[in-house]
A and B are shown apart, each in its own frame.
Chain A
Amino acid sequence: QVQLQQSGPGLVKPSQTLSLTCVISGDSVSSTSAAWNWIRQSPSRGLEWLARTNYRSKWYNDYAVSVKSRAIINPDTSKNQFSLHLSSVTPEDTAVYYCARVYVSGWYRGMDVWGKGTTVTVSS
């Protein structure tokens, strides 16, 4: 059974960097049948996809246009986890952040595993 365990601070000051980690159990961050995503949810923006990392002979990282200049997604094979770093945060980045797996076995099978979510507040 695949599980995703999220960790990270609940409070970040404006202009600082938000760092979140998602530890994978039951699967591998290097799996060629998966893509590992960060998504956030806020009342003003709803559910918003932020970033993705996946391994297909080499690593591919993709970002939403809204955060592209500020976000880095980083897979860590030694710890079987992936992280999101979002710099220069503002109160607009206040949201619940989720990590999630997209599963592809032969063909696309949906975003089938989600972390429990981390509530992040950006405030001084």
Chain B
Amino acid sequence: DIVMTQSPLSLSVTPGEPASISCRSSQSLLHSDGRNYLDWYLQKPGQSPQLLIYLSSNRASGVPDRFSGSGSGTDFTLKITRVEAEDVGVYYCMQTVDSPRITFGGGTKVEIK
């Protein structure tokens, strides 16, 4: 299975400040169709994970534009330009290039200072 490694494990951010989360994969997530099969999810406290970004850089419907994803191959980044209180929770990356053998990162917990 493809191993997904996230860093940092946790992040404490002042509202209005930026935040960045890294995700690295043990194998390339670049498919022969030219797309990187890497998603980002946010699990707010007490809720199910919700889709933020798919195919490395595409924002899901309704996701604020302060969230952006980038990267290719084995290195990916989720950036939040200005963190808001509602952004707290655990962020996960997930690969589907090896579908159906989907694997998740261990998560990055974001809290507000």
Chain A interfacial positions (CB closer than 8 Å to B)? 35, 37, 46-49, 52, 62, 64-65, 98, 102, 107-112, 114-117
Interface on chain A toward B: helix, strand, loop, or mixed SS? strand
CA distance A49 to B48 in the complex (A): 14
Pairs A–B under 8 Å by Cβ, sample size 30: A46-B106, A47-B92, A47-B94, A47-B107, A49-B101, A49-B102, A49-B103, A49-B104, A52-B100, A98-B49, A102-B96, A107-B35, A107-B55, A108-B96, A109-B54, A110-B54, A110-B58, A110-B60, A111-B49, A111-B51, A111-B94, A112-B51, A112-B60, A112-B61, A114-B48, A114-B49, A114-B50, A115-B48, A116-B48, A117-B48
Given contacts A115-B48, A116-B48, contact A108 B107 (CB under 8 A): no
B41 lies within 8 A of A111 (CB): yes
B55 lies within 8 A of A47 (CB): no
Q: Could you say which residues of chain A place their CB within 8 Å of the CB of B106?
A: 46
Q: Could you say which residues of chain A place their CB within 8 Å of the CB of B61?
A: 112
CA distance A114 to B44 in the complex (A): 13
CA distance A117 to B1 in the complex (A): 25
Query: Using a Cβ–Cβ cut-off of 8 Å, how many residues does chain B contribute to the interface with A?
Result: 26
B54 lies within 8 A of A49 (CB): no
CA distance A114 to B39 in the complex (A): 14
Q: Could you tell me the distance in whole angstroms from the C-beta of A95 to the nearest C-beta in chain B? A: 13
Q: Could you say which residues of chain B place their CB within 8 Å of the CB of A46?
A: 104, 106-107
Q: Does B37 contact A (CB under 8 A)?
A: yes
From A108, A114, A115, A116, give the contact of B54 (CB < 8 A).
Answer: A108
CA distance A37 to B102 in the complex (A): 10
10 A-B pairs with the lowest CB-CB distances in the bound complex, closest first: A110-B54, A47-B104, A62-B100, A114-B48, A49-B102, A110-B51, A52-B100, A112-B51, A110-B39, A117-B48
Q: Could you say which residues of chain A place their CB within 8 Å of the CB of B48?
A: 98, 114-117
From A35, A52, A108, A111, give the contact of B35 (CB < 8 A).
Answer: A108
Given contacts A47-B49, A110-B60, A117-B48, contact A64 B101 (CB under 8 A): yes
